[in-house]
Amino acid sequence: MAPAQLQSLRWGSLEAEEYLSDCSPVKGDLSCPRPNRIGGCVAERFFAHASNDTDTENWHALSDHLIATGQLAAEFGAVFGVEKATRLAGLLHDLGKYSEAFQKRLHGSLDRVDHSTAGAVIIKQRASTGGDAAIAELVAFAIAGHHAGLADRTGRSSLGERLKKKVAPLDLVWETEIAPDTTGLMPAFERSCDPAMAAFQFGFLGRMIFSCLVDADYRDTETYFAALRGEMPAREWPALEEIVDGLIVKFDSFMDDLQAGSASTDVNDLRRDVLAHVRAGADMPRGFFTLTVPTGGGKTLTSLGFALDHAKRHGLSRIIYAIPFTSIIDQTVSTFAAVLGDEYILEHHSALDEEKPRSREQRDKLNLAMEDWAAPLIVTTNVQLFESLFA
């Protein structure tokens, strides 16, 4: 950014020139290759996280963390068309760590340093017109809240008040190390013409951007510290697209055996008809569907068959089976496991039986999967589903 531009940028009472420190080398001073404006010496390398070792060789390079977090967040956001926004959130979320104050903290200083506000300030400054400004607002909310949670829209704890804070000056090397692209943030998707629905969509999009950032940040940090311990997090689940054909084969085989072993009664004949009718509709476009069948009509298996076929038809990444009552979850999970095997099923709700016999590795994998529902098939409650979306 040119000096003339720096002079013109302001955020509240904070001038951009004051915010972004001038780290031009001082002639003849060989002891400090990157001095700052107030005489302090800025580190040649910047770090996001420190190991217990005082040797910085194994510390987590800040640029590595920001780029990796941005890449992960972009992959998560690509599912709903906001990969540019989520990548930018990842690149800028820890921008405040490009400060002498934060680097001193990694070396033992006890002074608290706000490292999340800086990125929110930058994105608001640089994407300030049209649709990009609207998405930048959501990205700023995500960045500012990636540790403490989303800020309020108004009041003393609002994002606007947060961004008026004066924070530690940044070393300008961040521009070259992460090179963020702040253009073209507005995704190309259909927006409602109804103001209330459009507001709901906008707020929901903000929560999804926030979720992508928090998950990506946590994962990259987790990977760094796990590598120091010589471990790798047990997060590997097959994508539903990779296994759905095999799951459908298992489902068909189970239903064939079930029907072959059942007497030809009116109820069983109706169950077959319901299953065939519902599965025939799985090729319909994605949307909302209802299944109204009397008790005993085979809704659990029929809905599973539809979900598998519909997921295959549209390349869906997971099946989430939400049930209103915890009392019937165990039965549903047992049924699904009998049909498909339990290695692809995640059970997540408040009444989960923690005492089920599992190895430590299995427990760790399931606990991690509850953080992001990475499993191909999730069985949960309506409460857990809506809390995951709106909490």
10 Å CB burial of residue 72 (0-12, 13-18, 19+) is buried
Neighbours of 313 (CB within 10 A): 14
**Low-confidence winner among 43-57, 201-215, 280-294 (lowest mean pLDDT):** 43-57
Distance between CA 93 and CA 178 in Å, rounded? 12
Strand pairing category for 170-171 and 20-21: parallel
Q: CATH 1.10.3210 in the chain, residues?
A: 47-229
Fold of 47-229: Hypothetical protein af1432 (1.10.3210)
Highest mean pLDDT (candidates 13-17, 181-185, 206-210, 296-300): 206-210
pLDDT digits (tens, 9 = 90+) for 364-387: 555 665 667 888 999 998 988 998
- Mean pLDDT on 209-231: 91
pLDDT digits (tens, 9 = 90+) for 309-336: 999 999 999 999 999 888 788 889 999 9
Say whether pLDDT at 215 is over 50. Answer: yes
Say whether pLDDT at 24 is over 50. Answer: no
Q: CATH 3.40.50 in the chain, residues?
A: 240-390
Q: Does domain 240-390 have CATH number 3.40.50?
A: yes
Predicted local distance difference test score (pLDDT) of residue 193: 82
pTM, full prediction = 0.79
Contact call for residues 60 and 69 (beta carbons, < 8 A): no
